[in-house]
C-alpha cells in the first residue's frame, strides 16, 4: 500500500449523542486504481476508524443504498472511481435529508411519499389465478419499462432544488414511479394516484430544472416523466371542466 498514491478523504461526521453540529474529518487512504469511493470508505472503516457510519449493500449499483454527496454532487459511492478525482475528495450525506449519523440520512419522508403514490399494480379487474397471467405486448411494456429501472437511491431528491425549498413536494422518484404504473396496460389505479400526484404538492411544484435526470445513475429520466404527468393532468382538467361529455 505504501507505493500507492495517497489521497485525502474528507468525510462529514456527526454523532447526535456527542456532537452539537456536523464536522469534517480527513483520512489518508490509498488511491488504488480500481477503487471507488465506497471502497475508500470501507478502508477507513476497517483500518482507520471503525466508528464511521454509512450505508451500502450490493456494491453493484443495484440496491441504491450508497448515495452520498461526492464533491458536492449526488452520486452512488460504488460508481464514483477515486482515480477520476484529484488528491482530495469530500464525502457528505445526501442533501435535503436530515442526518441520522455521519453519512446516514433519515429517509422516512421519502418512504412515506413513495408509498403514497401506490407504487404497485392495481388490476383493472380481478381474476382468479386459474385464468392465467395479465398479459401485455412488447410495445405496451416499452411505454413504461424505462421507469422500472429506478433503484430508489434518492439522488434525484438530493439534486432537486425544489425539494430543498419545499419539503412537501412529492419529489421526482415518487412521481415517476406513479407514472410507471399509470402507463402500464395492466393497471387500473390511475385515478387513485392522480389524487396525489396532480395536487399542488405533487407534479405542479416541479420547476423543470432537470437536475434529477442528470444525476440518475440508471437513466430513468424522472424529469421527462414529470413533464408527461403534467401534460396528462392538464388534459384531465380540460376534459373535466370544459369537455365533461368527453369523459367516459
**Considering the entire predicted model, what is its pTM?**
0.92
**What digits encode the pLDDT tens for the residues 207-228?**
999 999 999 999 999 999 999 9
Model confidence band, residue 1 (pLDDT cutoffs 50, 70, 90): very low
Compute the C-alpha angle 81/151/138, nearest 5°.
115
Q: How confident is the model at residue 237 (pLDDT cuts 50, 70, 90)?
A: confident
The answer to whether residue 194 is domain-embedded is: yes
Count of beta carbons in the 10 Å neighbourhood of residue 214: 14
Q: Which domain holds residue 18?
A: 6-105
Cell 477503487, residue? 35
- Pick from 76, 105, 134: which residue ends a domain? 105
What pLDDT score was predicted for residue 2?
A: 47
> Looking at the domain assignment, is residue 177 inside a domain?
yes
Q: How far from the centroid of its chain's Cα atoms is residue 184's Cα?
A: 21
Kindly report, residue by residue over 30-73, the tens digit of the pLDDT: 999 999 999 999 999 999 999 999 999 999 999 999 999 999 99
How many distinct structural domains can be found in the chain? 2
Q: What CA–CA distance (Å, rounded) separates 107 from 18?
A: 22
Chain segment 141-200, per-residue pLDDT in tens: 999 999 999 999 999 999 999 999 999 999 999 999 999 999 999 999 999 999 999 998
Q: How many CB atoms lie within 10 A of CB 58?
A: 12
- Among the listed residues 22, 13, 21, the one whose alpha carbon sits nearest the alpha carbon of residue 45: 13
Instruction: Give pLDDT, residue 241.
Output: 67
Instruction: Cell numbers for 105, please give them.
Output: 440520512
Does 120 share its domain with 198? Answer: yes
Amino acid at each position: 500500500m505504501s507505493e500507492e498514491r495517497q489521497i485525502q478523504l474528507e468525510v462529514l461526521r456527526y454523532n447526535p449523542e456527542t456532537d452539537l453540529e456536523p464536522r469534517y474529518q480527513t483520512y489518508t487512504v490509498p488511491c488504488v486504481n480500481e477503487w471507488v469511493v465506497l471502497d475508500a470508505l470501507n478502508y477507513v472503516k476497517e483500518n482507520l476508524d471503525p466508528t464511521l457510519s454509512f450505508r451500502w449493500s450490493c456494491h453493484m449499483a443495484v440496491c441504491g443504498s450508497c448515495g452520498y454527496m461526492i464533491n458536492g454532487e449526488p452520486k452512488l459511492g460504488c460508481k464514483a472511481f477515486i482515480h477520476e478525482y484529484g488528491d482530495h475528495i469530500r464525502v457528505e450525506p445526501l442533501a435535503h435529508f436530515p442526518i441520522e449519523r455521519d453519512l446516514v440520512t433519515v429517509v422516512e419522508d421519502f418512504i412515506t411519499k413513495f408509498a403514497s403514490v401506490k407504487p404497485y399494480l392495481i388490476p383493472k379487474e380481478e381474476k382468479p389465478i386459474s385464468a392465467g397471467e395479465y398479459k401485455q405486448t412488447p410495445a405496451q411494456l416499452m411505454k413504461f419499462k424505462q421507469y422500472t429501472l429506478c433503484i430508489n437511491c434518492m439522488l434525484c431528491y438530493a439534486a432537486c432544488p425544489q425539494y430543498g425549498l419545499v419539503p412537501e413536494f412529492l419529489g421526482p422518484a415518487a412521481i415517476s414511479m406513479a407514472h410507471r404504473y399509470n402507463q402500464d396496460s395492466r393497471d387500473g389505479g390511475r385515478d387513485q394516484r392522480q389524487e396525489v400526484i396532480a395536487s399542488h404538492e405533487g407534479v405542479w411544484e416541479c420547476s423543470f430544472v432537470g437536475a434529477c435526470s442528470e444525476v440518475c445513475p440508471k437513466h430513468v429520466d424522472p424529469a421527462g416523466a414529470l413533464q408527461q404527468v403534467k401534460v396528462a393532468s392538464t388534459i384531465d382538467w380540460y376534459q373535466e371542466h370544459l369537455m365533461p361529455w368527453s369523459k367516459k
